[in-house]
Structure 1
């Protein structure tokens, strides 16, 4: 256990929806087994105690959830990356790889490679649970394509911001998620390592897209990698790079990028027309990718589809993301 990343909930064998009573009961059972006086593992007992001290305190529990489990036991990036890499390799080993080397084998592997359009596969599988073991989350929650909703915050500009976020969410639900059954949209998350908020996060397989949006007037624009230029006017996109770096640190097993969907007042998905400086094309290779609605859909679908095991719903990743909703 000391080499594996487990959230406090997993240490106590609880779902994130556990009540205070559930936490107390689970702690007593786990502590009774792991206590050193009863021959238990001292390191395991420390993990159990730490988990209880956090989850039994409402304020600490809320802060822990919004930190995406960053303060959990064995939460170093190396240990998390190692654990999830093993999970990915385990899944790949059951999805067509034979481990041999021949022209025939290579051809079979290529044909059997899972695609983003395949039905969603849950990792770890619900069917692999031991008797009496609680799943990371209920199956209906894992199967839910959209989680959370934008939160009204502030006074000025709230209506326009909510309308803009709704357009982006609708675009994702109508044109991206139907093509990628494993894609899960989480709305209204706390930004990592700050007091800010994020509009949307879209995760599929081991790729995470942090998504913001902006509404601009009609006309042609140029993106220089930092701002949108419209004649003599400058429009700055949402500040998402810091959030992308924060998520990359928290989820080292995933490829994280930030995206801004630029909407036009006309409602035309192909507007505004955006000219890109060299090296700033929105293809997922940049820390921040800016595109109009039509190109946003195309490029985000490509970004998610080209990742490893794109039809996987990793319950560890999804559960921690859901915990970060405000």
Structure 2
């Protein structure tokens, strides 16, 4: 990545989770080095100043972080489309060596996680860079909590989202140690929210939840039908498309989990019927047991499921949370 296309965090050499104090300290250090009076470059000093003025202001930083998460967070002094981007494993890399191929049938989903890029203290010191997020944060499997949105029905939303968090934390994360669950995200496509995002290697599952009475429901790709009544699940297809555009190196899918009032993981029953015209194959509507089964298969069958994609995780945490 060229210096002109570096993000403001890279310009100041701070993590995306840096505090106001850390940004001020980093700015003073970078400004002294880049100032023309001290033998620095005027253009570099302007980049340092622009980075500081943006990141030190809470509102400007929030707006910048949204663009950073969308891969458009360059320093503004070059091609505006040349923001940060992150590629799938390069040939010959540690990650590439672990990619599942027909000749190597062993699945690595249950293996000890490794980080891409790695937390290499010597490399950071040699280049003067800092990791995008601290290792202590990258090593956590669960990030954030369901957020109260609006006034009416907030308690019901929180309760069903907590059910989903507990379900994934107890039955999916132990099987895939590298999986990272991020709760309460803002949608990059509109003013809605993504209840949960589950990242493992180069696969990302977006999960929303509903609470419906027990019974048998028919899912046709657009609506749930039960006893002559049609129910539209949360609209996820356009959010999945937006996230796929933001993270082209990932395989992104959407899931709606239907919880039953009594907590039975196998209720309600969701039958897949003939798909309606225009329905999306990227969205799955399942009960709790189906979510566990589906997520395990989706994440573990991807390339290097034991990799923690730090670059993507940082963008999710900083730009959308």
Query: How high is the TM-score relative to the length of structure 2?
Result: 0.85
Which consecutive unaligned segments of at least 5 residues does structure 2 have?
none
CA separation in 2, counterparts of 1:212 and 1:86? 29
Does residue 182 in structure 1 map to residue 178 in structure 2? yes
CA separation in 2, counterparts of 1:315 and 1:18? 16
Q: Say which SS state the counterpart of residue 319 (structure 1) adopts.
A: helix
Deviations 1:169-225 (A, max 9, x none): 111001110100011111111111322222111111111111001111121110010
Measured at CA, do residues 318 and 4 of structure 1 come closer, stay the same or move farther in structure 2, by a change above 3 Å?
farther
Count of equivalent residues: 310
The answer on whether the counterparts of 1:148 and 1:325 sit within 8 Å (CA) in structure 2 is no
Deviations 1:35-93 (A, max 9, x none): 67846494x66654443232122111122234453331189778755x42355762335
Which consecutive unaligned segments of at least 5 residues does structure 1 have?
98-105
Alignment partner, residue 225 of structure 2: 229
CA separation in 2, counterparts of 1:78 and 1:308? 26
Q: Structure 1 residues 255-264 or 50-59, which shifts more?
A: 50-59
Measured at CA, do residues 218 and 115 of structure 1 come closer, stay the same or move farther in structure 2, by a change above 3 Å?
same
C-alpha deviation, 1:156, in angstroms = 1.5
CA separation in 2, counterparts of 1:211 and 1:200? 5
Q: Mapping of 1:255-266 within 5 angstroms?
A: 255-266=251-262
The answer on whether the counterparts of 1:222 and 1:277 sit within 8 Å (CA) in structure 2 is yes
Q: Structure 1 residues 25-34 or 291-300, which shifts more?
A: 25-34
Q: Mapping of 1:5-154 within 5 angstroms?
A: 6-34=6-34, 38=39, 40=41, 42=43, 47-70=47-70, 71-73=72-74, 83-85=86-88, 90-95=93-98, 110=104, 115-127=108-120, 129-131=123-125, 133-154=129-150
CA separation in 1, counterparts of 2:237 and 2:8? 28
Measured at CA, do residues 318 and 178 of structure 1 come closer, stay the same or move farther in structure 2, by a change above 3 Å?
same
Does residue 311 in structure 1 map to residue 306 in structure 2? yes
C-alpha deviation, 1:23, in angstroms = 1.9
Q: Say which SS state the counterpart of residue 169 (structure 1) adopts.
A: helix
Alignment partner, residue 265 of structure 2: 269
C-alpha deviation, 1:146, in angstroms = 0.5
2:201 to 190, 198, 205: 205
Query: How high is the TM-score relative to the length of structure 1?
Result: 0.83
Does residue 250 in structure 1 map to residue 251 in structure 2? no
